[in-house]
Structure 1
Amino acid sequence: MTSTAAFAALRAQLAALTTEAFRPELADLDRLPTRAIAELMNADDAAVAAAVAGQLPRIAAAIDAIAERMGRGGRLVYAGAGTAGRLGVLDASECPPTFATGPGQVVGLVAGGPDALVNAVEGAEDRAEAAVADLAALGLTADDAVVGVSASGRTPYAVGAVEHARRAGALTVGLSCNAGSALGAAAEHAIEVVTGPELITGSTRLKAGTAQKLVLNMISTITMVRLGKTYGNLMVDLRASNDKLRARARRIVAQATGAGDAEIEAALAETGGEVKNAILVLLGGVDGPAAARLLAAADGRLRPALDAARER
């Protein structure tokens, strides 16, 4: 195919995408007052949650499948390009401080590598083979789950990542913002949040980016809930690495136990600052070493560890 023919084919593909569609009613956008443009953007954003709601059954099914893989030692890997890839890296980077995930347990891959987080790496998203190489460098296994993220649903890097992961036996999820996407077709679990044309034509960092962020929040957060990383709605696997988080750790222990300051300080001191262990000491009536053993026997889940402590 000649370069002219290839360009024409690509143009036709993009024209079929709702995320790339032109909104003629906004043709005079640049002439509007700032307040009016802000109101238009806000109205657009208000519709995103409803679009996500329409995909909740698919999102929940994907989360359950991811949690099952991670429960047996697998990893959660996001793969995308541009805004989509950066959102995956952002979500992955928040998991260690929030849920004390281990090194490499949640991974974000962005086409073009770390430089692409702050600079556009031209052509990186078009290389499916780069996604294969990036996943190979991780030593991808059948226990892992790979989530390809692409607003258009056709980005070669994201589609290539999902296709390679599926061949390797890993769980695959395709998150896009167009119906009937190539990414969705390649994945076992297709999540297609159709947000429609953007305020600025083709700028999918807007509604599409917001939708992807909402879904990624759900995937990581609810997966961690399923893995026992919370106690109720308290993040008891918090890694207290600074003064703000140490204060939050004390507050979480107080909210979970109702204990006084002196008791909380003693429990945290006895457990090396581990929130979950400190709660078990206070509610289960055990010492620090016993709390650690009970949690290990319960795969780190606080509720069954508490039940076991109370039965002693």
Structure 2
Amino acid sequence: MRVVVTGREGQVARSLIERAALHPSVELLTLGRPDFDLAKPDTIFDAIKTAKPDLVVSAAAYTAVDQAEDEPELSYAINAAGAGAVAEAAARAGAPVIHLSTDYVFAGEGEKPYTEADPTGPHGVYGRTKLAGEALVAAANSKHLILRTAWVYSPFGKNFVKTMLHLAASRDSLSVVSDQWGNPTSAIDIADGILCVAERLHVDPQFDAFGIYHLAGTGSTSWSNFARTIFQASQDAQGPFADVKDILTSEYPTKARRPLNSRLNTEKFHEMFGWKAPAWEQSTKSTVKRLLQLS
């Protein structure tokens, strides 16, 4: 089964490259610039046609949440129009598409984990362009699986875990927001979930339960408690750590509004594919340990 992944340097793409090695039936091919550019539709169709995919994983995206407020056109071109073009190119190749989306499509209100059936209501440019992308993906390819995730971290790229460890190397204390809650999600776990779906599609050509699913780490926490878990894991492994001071979102203003509730209910994914991410604490500790070994 040839799985074609958009993006080469993103956290999920790099995690898929690593985890696909455990799946002998999977031949993984990544697409990236300059041959593949989400902002240039012609490159999308040519690259995917040439790749001859059995399945396309649409992982590349514009993810600079604050910068998107200043670059709405580029954000839309990549997250909406580009994502739709990837789905259409997959459809032309006769392949299903797995498209990654985000908790930012919700308003971030309440305290209950969002289900796939809950109303969306993004506040910022990033969330609105990702929601538009979901609609274009669904319209372009009937065989689509839209996987919403949240709070992604990994040993790769830029993310919260790496930032915390870097800051702790030079600071004794850090202020971290305590009133935003969500599911810390390892990109390694996302990759495992995607590959589980890929295997299902490969062995079940009659699969027809396409649509939207939530795929995130098991359990929820606040950013400040997430930071404490990172530092405890680091301290246990003789790495850098710092004290964490709780602050409110109002004390840490950002250009783009952050959701206070990013919790995602993943029961639908578990019931359909028989796979569930590990507890977020477990995956966090594994990532911290790996990062310390690399440093």
For this structure pair, what is the TM-score category when the shorter chain's length is used for normalisation? 0.3 to 0.5
Higher relative contact order (CA 8 A, sep 6+): 2
The TM-score, its normalising length taken from structure 1, stands at: 0.34
Structure richer in strand, relative to its length? 2
The TM-score, its normalising length taken from structure 2, stands at: 0.35
Structure richer in helix, relative to its length? 1
